[in-house]
Amino acid sequence: MTGSNGSTAVSDQPALPKPEGLEGVVAASTALSHVFGEEGKLVYRGYDIHELAGNASFEEVAYLLWNGRLPTQDELKDLLLTLGEERSLPGHVIDVIRALPGDAHPMDALRTGASALGAGGGDQFDDEPDLDEAIALTAMFPGILAAFFRLRQGLEPVAPKPEHNTAQSYLHQLFGREPEDRHWRPLEVYLTLLADHGMNASTFTARVIASTGSDLCSSITGAVGALKGPLHGGAPSKVLDMLEAIGSAENVDSWLTDALDRGERLMGFGHRVYKAEDPRAEILRGMAAEASTPEFFELSRRTEERALEMLHERKPGRRLYTNVEFYSAAVLSAVGLPGDMFTPTFAVSRVTGWTAHVLEQVANNRLIRPQSEFVGPTDRKFVAIEAR
Ligand code: ACO
């Protein structure tokens, strides 16, 4: 191969297919969850997501992902007790969050908090990831976000109440008052829906880091960074921005047309694996109908309908459908969260899947180390700086 500078690029590797973005590549084996893209079906440990959503609590789902089966009543009670005991953040983590600028993004605060947890010394997060660490990290995620959310408003963090479940505790620590049923219950269903999702980018990131023998906080810190991107978990606040910019049903067509004419992507549509509707979007649509205002739901519905029609017209054969992020915006707004807390709330759920994947990875580990096709030059000669 000849490069633009005339030098030669070589490869000592056999010619392998190079799927862009690793599409279709099987990167690991997992018994945790699977996305059946053609059917629009999601399964956690053998249970269709429709079986679990609204029936299982978030903690039952977490237990299922970590242990491979649903808990008994006593096991669930023990898990809730442990989560309640583990929620308080170490002082140094609060100090680190306190030191962040108030205009930092909450995902940056979460990434920093997760990293700080791993720098705590002692033996809570030692080098070998285990289930106790997974539970502790899951317990502390809501508190990291709530502390940042309050500190940036000039308010002090709120101590968690041990009797709260995860959804209740998160809202209580954010807003400093007892959460209402109409808020924590839909949030809990949302958390069960987002807990795991096959070999998505952030999960893959967590597994790659775990495969090096690194610690749990490092794996999860990396995963938070991967989730932040708008092509992955960063979309729902952009869905809210889009709906707010559209403003009313009369503007839907012109706004979407202009955005597509500019070559922009419509947030909340399309998916690497689903070639049918994301089953989580279907469940969230039903929740949004109940939880959000009729005006906001109507605007969301109209925007979805027209976006799908336009995407099908403009990208025939691409099979672009509504993804989980579209109605997450309506549901999370309705439970009282501002847009910049949407992706962090996704992480409050997904930390269960990430930690379960890390445990699965280390239980049967082999370093994840792919290859690249080298397309650069190989024979350049160094020229001293004075002569360049
Ligand atoms: N709006 C407009 N066009 C789209 C969209 C969209 N939302 N999604 C895909 N396309 C188009 C692309 O422009 C491309 O068209 P082209 O080949 O004519 O240029 C084609 O569909 C395929 O797109 P790719 O980027 O190759 O598909 P990929 O599998 O990499 O993308 C992704 C998946 C990133 C989710 C994409 O659909 C997207 O950007 N969606 C918007 C952002 C979003 O909603 N992200 C949340 C994803 S869900 C999650 O991670 C939790």
- Where a domain ends, among 314, 334, 354? 334
Residue 248 belongs to domain with CATH number: 1.10.230.10
Q: What pLDDT is attached to residue 287?
A: 96
Same domain, 225 and 256: no
Task: Enumerate residues 6+ apart whose C-beta is below 8 A from 67.
Answer: none
Same domain, 81 and 226: yes
Task: Enumerate residues 6+ apart whose C-beta is below 8 A from 272.
Answer: 21, 23
Q: How does residue 218 score in pLDDT terms, banded at 50, 70 and 90?
A: very high
Quote the ligand 1 centre to 272 CA distance (angstroms).
Answer: 7
Distance CA 277, CA 37 (A): 9
Whether the predicted pLDDT of 110 surpasses 80? yes
Residue nearest to atom 19 of ligand 1 (CA): 315
Q: Can you tell me whether residue 271 is helix, strand or coil?
A: coil
**Inside any domain, residue 3:** no
User: For the chain, what is the mean pLDDT?
Assistant: 93
Same domain, 79 and 174: yes
> pTM of the entire structure?
0.92
Q: What is the mean pLDDT of residues 134-141?
A: 97
Q: Output the CA–CA distances (angstroms, integers) from residue 336 to 180, 182, 187, in the order listed.
A: 11, 10, 10
Same domain, 55 and 188: yes
Q: Where are the alpha helices (DSSP H) in 157-196?
A: 166-175, 181-193
Distance CA 321, CA 309 (A): 10
Distance CA 65, CA 352 (A): 7
Q: Is 264 a catalytic residue?
A: no
Whether the predicted pLDDT of 235 surpasses 90? no
pLDDT digits (tens, 9 = 90+) for 86-109: 999 999 999 999 999 999 999 999
Same domain, 205 and 267: no
Same domain, 57 and 128: yes
**Inside any domain, residue 223:** yes
Both tokens of 8, joined, read 């030669």
- Please give the tally of structural domains in the chain: 2
Number of Cβ within 10 Å of residue 82's Cβ equals 16
**Inside any domain, residue 175:** yes
Q: How does residue 16 score in pLDDT terms, banded at 50, 70 and 90?
A: low
**Inside any domain, residue 249:** yes
Decide: 304 in ligand 1 pocket, CB within 6 A.
no
Query: From the candidates 304, 325, 357, 360, which is the catalytic residue?
Result: 325
Q: How does residue 120 score in pLDDT terms, banded at 50, 70 and 90?
A: confident
Same domain, 317 and 346: no
Whether the predicted pLDDT of 115 surpasses 60? yes
Distance CA 50, CA 128 (A): 34
Residue nearest to atom 40 of ligand 1 (CA): 270
Same domain, 251 and 114: no
Same domain, 202 and 218: yes
Q: How does residue 206 score in pLDDT terms, banded at 50, 70 and 90?
A: very high
What atom in ligand 1 is closest to the CA of residue 268?
44
- Which strand ranges, in their side-by-side order, compose the sheet holding 33-36? 33-36, 41-44, 47-48
Whole domain around residue 321: which residue ranges?
236-334
Residue 41 belongs to domain with CATH number: 1.10.580.10
Q: How does residue 274 score in pLDDT terms, banded at 50, 70 and 90?
A: very high
